Amino acid sequence: MDQGPGLNPGLTRLALFGSPVKTSLSPHIHRLFAAQFGLEIEFRRIESQAGDFPRKLKDFQLGGGIGCNVTLPLKRDAWQLATDSSAQARQAQAANTLVYQPSSGWFAHNTDGAGLVADLSGNHGIGLAGQRLLILGAGGAAAGILGELLACGPQEIMLVNRNLERASALARRFSSVGSVSATSWQDLLSRGSFNLVINATSLGHQGRAPQLTPALFVPGALCYDLNYLAASQPLKKLCEDMRQPYIDGLGMLVEQAAYSFRIWTEKQPDSRVVIAACRTRPV
């Protein structure tokens, strides 16, 4: 792609926008991907809030940037800023991946759901068909994974959120895709137990874990946390105390990044070796 006047045409300029991003593994992950193909990339962390995101994204593009990942709290903003978007991004009304097309501007993708399913099924051998799933949270993270999870044919997906109306609105948006409903935290225990519980809240970034009890899990069930590294520790500790099987979101992080990398470079990296490298040496 055109890198702009006076810039190194062999260098692919990429970035991550969001807040906070200073400890993100994304630059490390994409450098490992690039090394598999001998590509030269620059991957920056750009701290951004909603108010300055449009300006910083424009500056990034004028500086030769051709693609970026977007994390909290900007995923909906990224989707709204784009001139066009994939079906997954439109369905989620949120984007985690932007690619610059010189003829039309930024195109939005959402690779979160595909990354989660790739980690669950491909890396951990977990089937979702016919299962009862519980998603904690109803924000952009939940919206980004809901469509791909429903496409796997679960018996039911239940959303639980402090704001019941927000969860109900999200459930209604995806109701044509599969069986999805919403409940409050107060009524959650009356809804039975689940085969897979997915934490899509940001509580871990505040050093807190969702209020889960063993009664929410059927025997052999799994708790999957979209958080990783420090933000995953509160829920990991809770699950250890409950002797509940738990997986953090590092695999999903790498898998969704692999989809983004392919969008930007048209090359499919080996994600498993990168997951292993990040667990061995996370930074």
- Name the one residue in this structure whose structure tokens are 């090394």: 35
Other Cβ atoms within 10 Å of 3 Cβ, number: 16
> Is residue 138 within 8 Å of residue 112, measured between CB atoms?
no
**Residue 256 and residue 263: Cα distance in Å, rounded?**
11
**Residue 213 and residue 134: Cα distance in Å, rounded?**
13
100 has which bridge partners?
106
pLDDT score for 5: 43
pLDDT, one tens digit per residue, over 137-147 is 998 899 999 99
Indicate if the pLDDT at residue 118 is higher than 50: yes
Q: Three-class SS of residue 29?
A: helix
pLDDT score for 138: 94
Rg (CA), the chain: 19
pLDDT, one tens digit per residue, over 218-242 is 999 999 999 998 999 999 999 999 9
Q: How confident is the model at residue 262 (pLDDT cuts 50, 70, 90)?
A: very high
Active-site annotation, residues:
75
pLDDT, one tens digit per residue, over 42-90 is 999 999 999 999 999 999 999 999 999 999 899 999 999 999 999 999 9
pLDDT score for 135: 98
Amino acid (one-letter) located at 265: T
pLDDT, one tens digit per residue, over 125-168 is 999 999 999 999 998 899 999 999 999 999 999 999 999 999 99
- What the chain holds in terms of domains, given with CATH numbers, is 11-110+252-280 (3.40.50.10860), 126-248 (3.40.50.720)
Q: How confident is the model at residue 9 (pLDDT cuts 50, 70, 90)?
A: low
Predicted model pTM: 0.93
CB contact set of 29 (below 8 Å; sequence gap of 6+): 253, 254, 257, 274, 278
Nearest CA among 231, 181, 219, 223 for reference residue 199: 223
Q: How confident is the model at residue 1 (pLDDT cuts 50, 70, 90)?
A: very low
pLDDT score for 8: 58
CB contact set of 268 (below 8 Å; sequence gap of 6+): 258, 262
**Token code pair at residue 136:** 């904690």
**Residue 170 and residue 166: Cα distance in Å, rounded?**
6
